[in-house]
Amino acid sequence: MHYSKINMIKNFKRRSIQFLLPLFTLAAFVGCNKDISLSLDNSRDETIGVVPIDTVSVKVSTYQLDPLPTSNTGTILVGKNSNAVTGTVKSTSYMRLGIGTINSTAIPDDAVLDSVSLVLSPNKYYSGDTTKVQKIAVHRVTDDITLTPIDPTQPTTSRPFYVTAASIFSNKKFAYENTPLAELSFNPRVKATDSLFFKFNSTISNELFRLIKDGDNRIQNNTSFQEYFKGLALVPDNNNTAIIGFKDTVFLQVHYSFENNEGNKTRGKQYFAIDSKTYQYNQIETDRSATKFSSMTLSNPQIDVEKTNGNTFLEGSSGVVAKIEFPTLLSLVNDPTISINKVELVIEAENNPLEGYEQPSNLVLMVANSEGTPVSALASLETANAMQVARLIKIGDANGKYTFNLIDYLNKIKTTAYKNTSLYLSLPPLPVPVGTVGGTSVAIPPQLSSTANRLILAKDGNDPRIKLNILYTKFQ
């Protein structure tokens, strides 16, 4: 075991001493905890001597959460990206369409079909290498797209606190036809491109147009249309290098032309659209077989940094978090001669992330019970009923830092409800209110389920750069 002593500065007042303890957790392994020995500094008063106070150990590991609810997030994610440390993530998006503006009576008898195209609008989000050509195929879904309900007979602590209603989860797959309805290869100029147009093949285009012109029962309402046309799957090519975000306002446009009363050629347009965003979701697949994280699965969710060369990471949509535990901190908290005044957890991010993989601007800490289920989040000390958010702070060429105030957590770990809990460093799983602009509430979106954002923690050798600072009073 490696022990590092941290000297404290003595300031006496009414027989009390205050200490600022930087508890470096730069590595704390499940198999071999690195304990930190706390002691008093005798540099000013040799009659005091060095008095051992306690030891605190920290365990850091990477943890795979259960599949996330990725429906109704407001973002369509399609694509694939890879890196040597954490492996590959692939997102396929499914959606259900309704009849939108389809109206048979508005189409003249002499109208002829021009084209049927699916229109997607990028929302300027991406993760990965966008310098290469990307390809997306549109397939017709053959299964009913359905929600997974919450089991009301199970206690709320048996499911994550961010699962609040029936949803579609990230591991859910629905069958679709092998032959695509449309394909498109494009250069992902995500900051500039207005829309992408996927032109459907003539077979399905003519079929849809005939149904509209005939006033077929299958296009009279959403229910009948969805029995006939169950939905779409947007599937990325295996050679793609980026995951791209699109707005969830999707249109399947039917373009046609006809002669008006003056004998001039006129063009018309109607469209199908998503009828319920609850039935749009992103299905996530990962491949970590060529990485140190290959053994991390749903059945074996935790892998400690000792087995990953000190690397630990968190990742949106795939549901990976960094797990942080303080196995011996309770003994310090329970010491009747100590009053803890301030606790800060500081986590460092490398100052040179890969191009296309921007570091998350905001992180949160979720509280997990002894079963590993996230049951709450570290609360904000400024905003009622909100999660505490640590913002990425960068100064010059130094590593970026996320800082959390843990005083509330330390005050609670003595209670039965917090027994054997741990912390998950994560992207926000729910919207986080941050204020108002022009009378409108502004919130950080639920990035855990709506992005592929990733953070690989900074490390020193094989040790993650995580530091716990404690300011406390010692009564003599």
**pLDDT tens digits along 302-331:** 999 999 999 999 999 999 999 999 887 888
Give the whole-angstrom CA distance, residue 65 versus residue 55. 30
281 C-beta neighbours (distance < 10 Å), count: 29
In 3D, which of 29, 28, 22, 25 has the Cα closest to residue 8? Answer: 22
Q: What is the pLDDT of residue 31?
A: 34
Q: What is the pLDDT of residue 469?
A: 86
| Predicted confidence band of residue 51 (pLDDT cuts 50, 70, 90) | very low
Residue 364, pLDDT > 60, answer yes
Q: What is the pLDDT of residue 354?
A: 63
Q: What is the pLDDT of residue 334?
A: 87
Considering only residues 352 and 261, tell me which one the structure prediction assigns the higher pLDDT.
261
Considering only residues 59 and 74, tell me which one the structure prediction assigns the higher pLDDT.
74
Considering only residues 345 and 437, tell me which one the structure prediction assigns the higher pLDDT.
345
**pLDDT tens digits along 181-202:** 999 999 998 877 789 999 999 9
| Predicted confidence band of residue 59 (pLDDT cuts 50, 70, 90) | confident
Considering only residues 152 and 72, tell me which one the structure prediction assigns the higher pLDDT.
72
**pLDDT tens digits along 101-156:** 999 999 999 999 999 999 999 999 999 999 999 999 999 999 999 999 999 899 98
Average pLDDT of the chain? 87
Q: What percent of the chain has pLDDT over 70?
A: 87
Q: What is the pLDDT of residue 269?
A: 97
Considering only residues 125 and 21, tell me which one the structure prediction assigns the higher pLDDT.
125
**pLDDT tens digits along 377-416:** 999 998 888 999 999 999 888 899 999 999 999 999 989 8
| Predicted confidence band of residue 353 (pLDDT cuts 50, 70, 90) | low
Q: What is the pLDDT of residue 53?
A: 37
Instruction: Report pTM.
Output: 0.88
| Predicted confidence band of residue 458 (pLDDT cuts 50, 70, 90) | very high
Distances (CA, A) of 191 to 122, 123, 289: 8, 8, 33
| Predicted confidence band of residue 12 (pLDDT cuts 50, 70, 90) | very low
Give the whole-angstrom CA distance, residue 270 versus residue 152. 42
| Predicted confidence band of residue 355 (pLDDT cuts 50, 70, 90) | low
Beta bridge mates, 254? 116, 270
Residue 438, pLDDT > 90, answer no
Q: What is the pLDDT of residue 50?
A: 28
**What is the residue-wise DSSP string for 42-100?**
-SS-TTT---EEEEEE-EEEEEEPSPPB-BSSSEEEEEEEEETTTEEEEEEEEE-EE-T
Contacts with 473 (C-beta within 8 Å, 6 or more apart), sequence order = 16, 17, 18, 19, 338, 339, 341
Residue 293, pLDDT > 50, answer yes
| Predicted confidence band of residue 22 (pLDDT cuts 50, 70, 90) | low
What value does the mean pLDDT take over residues 5-13? 37
Residue 476, pLDDT > 70, answer no
In 3D, which of 247, 254, 248, 255 has the Cα closest to residue 274? Answer: 248
**What is the residue-wise DSSP string for 93-139?**
EEE-EE-TT--GGGS-TT-EEEEEEEEE-EEEEEEE--SS-EEEEEE
Q: Which two tokens stand for residue 61?
A: 């590991």
Q: 206 in helix, strand or coil?
A: helix
Contact 169, 69 (CB under 8 A): yes
| Predicted confidence band of residue 4 (pLDDT cuts 50, 70, 90) | very low
Look up residue 35 and give its amino acid: D
Considering only residues 269 and 22, tell me which one the structure prediction assigns the higher pLDDT.
269
Residue 17, pLDDT > 70, answer no
Beta bridge mates, 233? 94, 139
Q: What is the pLDDT of residue 99?
A: 98
The residue with tokens 């855990």 is 448
Q: What is the pLDDT of residue 357?
A: 79
